[in-house]
Structure 1
Amino acid sequence: MLKRHSLAVLLALAMVLATVATAAAAPSDGALAGQQTETDCIYFEATQQSVCFGFKAYWEKYGGLAIFGYPITGEFVENGVTVQYFERARFEWHPGVWPERYDVLQGLLGAQLAGDRLGTGPFAPAQPIQGCTFFEATGHNLCAGFQSYWQTFGGLAIFGYPISEEFVEDGVTVQYFERARFEWHPGVWPERYDVLLGLLGVRAISGEQPAPEPEPEPEPEPPFVPVAAELNNPRGMTIGPDGAIYVAEAGVGGDGPCLPNPEGEGEVCYGPTGSIARIVDGQVERIATGLPSLATPDGVAATGVHDVVVTESGIFAIIGLGADPEARAQLGDVGADFGTLVQINDDGTYTVLFDVAAYEADQNPEPALVDSNPYSLVVVDDGFVVVDAGGNDLLHVADDGTITTLAVFGPRMVEAPPFLGLPPGTEIPMEAVPTGLVIGPDGAYYVGELTGFPFLVGAARVWRIVPGEDPEIYAEGFTNIGDIAFGPDGRLYVLEIAAEGLLSEDTPGSLYRVESDGTKTLLAREGLVGPTGLAIDADGTIYIANFGMFPGTAQVVGFIE
């Protein structure tokens, strides 16, 4: 891998090269030649070199020290072209070729230094990756933080096309471009998207090459296989009697009317963008569209269709709200459909059957706050059972519309996180926020907690509820549960939306298997990002709605246990 020279060695090398450059050639072009003044040049004590005239104008205009680094040589002629090397780049003088870029081209140092590796390993052409930018010209993807940095700080003109995928070199995640190497150093340069640029100019001048790569170990089989893609904020899932996967899509909101965003700044606005997706053999068919959705302008954090159940007698769904039921009036006529249980008609439209949010407004079983967000439902002989994440309760909805409370999940007092600035030992209430709901093999109801602020790691629990009895804790030690399901083996599976907590910058999820005695086994974490929905078929195949908080890029994956 790249060896690190001491500054003294680099300075000595730069001074030798500057001497060679002076002896080799004096630039004759008017933009570079002539007497250098303080205005025309910038002198850097660190490397005892200057950048002047046209090279100076380009250096200042397109990134300066942060992008190109210090000059490490003077100007000299290389292969018939006036050039100057910088720590991370080589400037080439091509008068008239790029007048809008000060007649400067950057040398293809990335391609030059990776030349003997092109076409192999991470430099071999790749397949497009969902959510990334794919460049047909080189056959490589540009993703996530590297993609943001590339787009923000110069794009194609400064860095060129990607010529590799991301890979680990010298213990650091890197990606090569025609003119640069991006290095991922999280937390080092937060204002630069955690990216540093490799010292390719230093390597090119010194003749330094990466050490030979060791033979790669065989890639382990991925724990997930793709099933379907391009979903919009998927939430609950179920396996229908026909064996198909049905997914509730909360949609991406729309142009309004709007409500204040209950989760932060700005507004959430209405749009008829919710849907029910049916997945068979990887093909997505939206069997119902036009369902109500609320979301921020970027389509994130949507509230809409939260769960779906499919029976021989019909398809039923629950539509969330996430606010005081009285707020629905601010949305006009469309507001009345939020916080309800609906039936999907044969033509893909829907009919409101029961107003679950109205029960919260009238009864408020858990009296801390009037808030309703129906989130999950199951079908029972005499109607439905619904968990209300806003009301913090479990409700029975009879076929005649009568709603009764089966269980209430009250708040807990927990220690306030340090960032609130409260005195040490201060406690604040944390709500339960029940989300996942399933009927167990024993006929009891099982409910998983998301928990509310401050979303403590390890604080979420799974409850077991038998009507007429006090709820009991079945399993605990989870973080921000999004969904739960029983497998055909009778064991419970728990899906965490955020294994490190919803306040963490990291968004990995987790999948656990829980034994009958409450002990749990971590089955998967790598590759799960903000997962939201869970379903298990009769053969024990586990399906997960992955990237569930990201509109348009969410997918359903199958888990290989």
Structure 2
Amino acid sequence: MRSRIATLAAACTCAMIMTAGPALAQSGNSPGPTPGPVTEITSGLVSPLKVAFGPDGSFLVAESFAGLLSSISATGEKSVLVNAPGQEIAGVSYQDGTTYYFNNDQGAGPEPGGVLLPARLMKITSAGVTTQITDLSEFEATDNPDGDTIYGVRDASDECLDLAPYMQSPGELFSHPYSSVPGDDGVYVGDAGANAILHVTDDGDVTLVKALRAEPIEIDAAVIALAAQMGMIVPDCMLGLTYYAQPVPTDVTVKGQWLYYTVLPGVPGEGLGVGKVYRVHLQSGVTQLLAENLAAPTGIAVSRDNTVYVAQLFGDGVSTVKNGCTVNVLPAMMASDVQVKGNTLVALTNALAATGGSLVTMRLR
């Protein structure tokens, strides 16, 4: 089972580090630095889910469900770069005069349909020329990185599974590129449909960086209660078994040879506070778990001193992941993304509020 990230609008214990690396961090109430002054640049944004530092001190914001890509000046003046009603505009990023974003076709309903829809990686040059780099659904059609993965309950008896066949499914053909970060000779992409991290060259060649592993969740009373709220019945015979949730990547960033990414496990993980932060070494492929027990992490950034910042959509705002703990530094509701450049942190808050979201900045101390 999977929910599209778009359905978020409607809407513990330590794990082992996969390899030797930095200390595992958990969400908690550890004392941390006092947040710096927060400045609201603008408000009233429609579903602002991704932000990037743009040219000349501007900010680029993907107002995803409205089909808008906007440029916002440091004083809050807004200009529309892309206006595509009915489309999802996602994953904006910027480097050296080029703006990257996704223009995704949207099907009817919250779940992937039987048709593999176009998922276009676009770019806008410094001269204002917009072109398509590639359609990532074509890579999904030929490669389908999680096609051999069985999601859901793997160890139930046939008799038990017959009571709830929706508790098991293969990886489907579905491309939903949601985040991007410029890198060597192109961009890295977090595909929230393919459950994979990809690299796309400037010429449109797509390669697989990492197929993400299913996220294990023990079926306990909390899982059963959440499923009931969603209208799904989990039979008693599955109590205590492991549910392997889809490892939906929600954001990516690169620092040196490491690519950092956030994972929001699909149903039932979206509502259980079991999100995680990982990083993968781009040369060796070594993967490290940096943080867990996060409430829908959907944004990640790394500062010049290697401090990791994470935005939690259903959590308490933006937090740091450093020295073995997660500490809130920007209290906010519905923080959908965070980026850091120099001494400036920019974040999107109240992203799914009916009154509209806000673009805010904070000076880092």
TM (norm. structure 1) is: 0.48
Q: For residue 314 of structure 1, what is the amino acid of its counterpart?
A: T
Q: Choose which of 56, 60, 63 in structure 2 pairs with 1:249.
A: 63
Counterparts in 2 of 1:497-512, with a 5 A limit? 497-499=313-315, 509-512=316-319
Q: 1:199-218 CA distances to partner (integer Å, 9 max, x unpaired)?
A: xxxxxxxxxxxxxxxxxxxx
Query: Equivalent residue of 1:498, what SS?
Result: coil
Counterparts in 2 of 1:39-438, with a 5 A limit? 224-252=38-66, 273-286=67-80, 288-291=81-84, 293-294=86-87, 304-321=88-105, 323=112, 326-328=115-117, 338-344=118-124, 350-367=130-147, 368-416=171-219, 417-419=223-225, 420=227, 421-423=234-236, 424-438=239-253
Q: 1:283-320 CA distances to partner (integer Å, 9 max, x unpaired)?
A: 2222x1323544xxxxxxxxx12122222242221234
Cα distance, 1:223 vs. partner?
Answer: 6.0
Q: 1:336-370 CA distances to partner (integer Å, 9 max, x unpaired)?
A: xx411101256867321111122112111012222
Query: Separation in 2 of the partners of 1:349 and 1:292?
Result: 20
Please state if 1:482 is matched with 2:298.
yes
Query: Equivalent residue of 2:266, what SS?
Result: coil
In structure 1, the residue matched to 2:4 is: none
Query: Separation in 1 of the partners of 2:75 and 2:187?
Result: 30
Is the 8 Å Cα contact of residues 321 and 374 (structure 1) preserved in structure 2? Answer: no
Query: Separation in 1 of the partners of 2:113 and 2:71?
Result: 29
Q: 1:473-502 CA distances to partner (integer Å, 9 max, x unpaired)?
A: 133232211100112332110110112xxx
Is the 8 Å Cα contact of residues 190 and 197 (structure 2) preserved in structure 1? Answer: yes
Query: Separation in 2 of the partners of 1:546 and 1:280?
Result: 17
Q: Closer, same or farther in 2 for the Cα pair 1:402/1:415, shift >3 Å?
A: same
Query: Separation in 2 of the partners of 1:346 and 1:514?
Result: 35
Of residues 236-245 and 357-366 in structure 1, the stretch that sits farther from structure 2 once superposed is: 236-245
Query: Separation in 2 of the partners of 1:308 and 1:244?
Result: 13
Query: Separation in 1 of the partners of 2:261 and 2:36?
Result: 30
Determine what percentage of the aligned residue pairs are the same residue.
22
Q: For residue 432 of structure 1, what is the amino acid of its counterpart?
A: P
Q: For residue 422 of structure 1, what is the amino acid of its counterpart?
A: P
Query: Separation in 2 of the partners of 1:396 and 1:292?
Result: 28
Query: Separation in 1 of the partners of 2:202 and 2:115?
Result: 25
Query: Equivalent residue of 1:439, what SS?
Result: strand
Q: Closer, same or farther in 2 for the Cα pair 1:321/1:426, shift >3 Å?
A: farther
Cα distance, 1:282 vs. partner?
Answer: 2.1
Cα distance, 1:230 vs. partner?
Answer: 2.0
Please state if 1:491 is matched with 2:307.
yes
Q: Closer, same or farther in 2 for the Cα pair 1:518/1:292, shift >3 Å?
A: farther
Counterparts in 2 of 1:503-542, with a 5 A limit? 509-515=316-322, 517-525=323-331, 528-539=332-343, 541-542=344-345
Q: Closer, same or farther in 2 for the Cα pair 1:402/1:513, shift >3 Å?
A: same
Q: Closer, same or farther in 2 for the Cα pair 1:221/1:375, shift >3 Å?
A: closer
In structure 2, the residue matched to 1:143 is: none
Larger Rg: 1
Cα distance, 1:413 vs. partner?
Answer: 3.0
Q: For residue 142 of structure 2, what is the amino acid of its counterpart?
A: D
Cα distance, 1:236 vs. partner?
Answer: 1.5
Is the 8 Å Cα contact of residues 458 and 478 (structure 1) preserved in structure 2? Answer: yes
Q: For residue 84 of structure 2, what is the amino acid of its counterpart?
A: L
Is the 8 Å Cα contact of residues 392 and 409 (structure 1) preserved in structure 2? Answer: yes
Query: Separation in 2 of the partners of 1:353 and 1:292?
Result: 21
Q: Closer, same or farther in 2 for the Cα pair 1:282/1:406, shift >3 Å?
A: same
In structure 1, stretches of 5+ residues that fail to align are: 1-219, 253-272, 295-303, 329-337, 500-508
Cα distance, 1:428 vs. partner?
Answer: 2.3
In structure 2, the residue matched to 1:215 is: none
The structure richer in helix per residue is 1
Query: Equivalent residue of 1:280, what SS?
Result: coil
Query: Equivalent residue of 1:433, what SS?
Result: strand
Cα distance, 1:532 vs. partner?
Answer: 1.1
Query: Equivalent residue of 2:285, what SS?
Result: coil
Cα distance, 1:404 vs. partner?
Answer: 0.9
Q: 1:109-145 CA distances to partner (integer Å, 9 max, x unpaired)?
A: xxxxxxxxxxxxxxxxxxxxxxxxxxxxxxxxxxxxx
Query: Equivalent residue of 2:139, what SS?
Result: helix
Is the 8 Å Cα contact of residues 248 and 277 (structure 1) preserved in structure 2? Answer: no
Q: For residue 462 of structure 1, what is the amino acid of its counterpart?
A: V
TM (norm. structure 2) is: 0.71
Q: Closer, same or farther in 2 for the Cα pair 1:221/1:520, shift >3 Å?
A: closer
Q: For residue 318 of structure 2, what is the amino acid of its counterpart?
A: L
The structure richer in strand per residue is 2
Q: Closer, same or farther in 2 for the Cα pair 1:321/1:445, shift >3 Å?
A: farther
Q: 1:499-537 CA distances to partner (integer Å, 9 max, x unpaired)?
A: 2xxxxxxxxx4211111x443212233xx2222121223
Query: Separation in 2 of the partners of 1:382 and 1:313?
Result: 14
Is the 8 Å Cα contact of residues 310 and 320 (structure 2) preserved in structure 1? Answer: yes
Q: Closer, same or farther in 2 for the Cα pair 1:247/1:381, shift >3 Å?
A: same
Is the 8 Å Cα contact of residues 462 and 473 (structure 1) preserved in structure 2? Answer: yes
In structure 2, stretches of 5+ residues that fail to align are: 1-33, 107-111, 148-170, 228-233
Q: Closer, same or farther in 2 for the Cα pair 1:289/1:552, shift >3 Å?
A: farther
Query: Separation in 1 of the partners of 2:319 and 2:325?
Result: 10
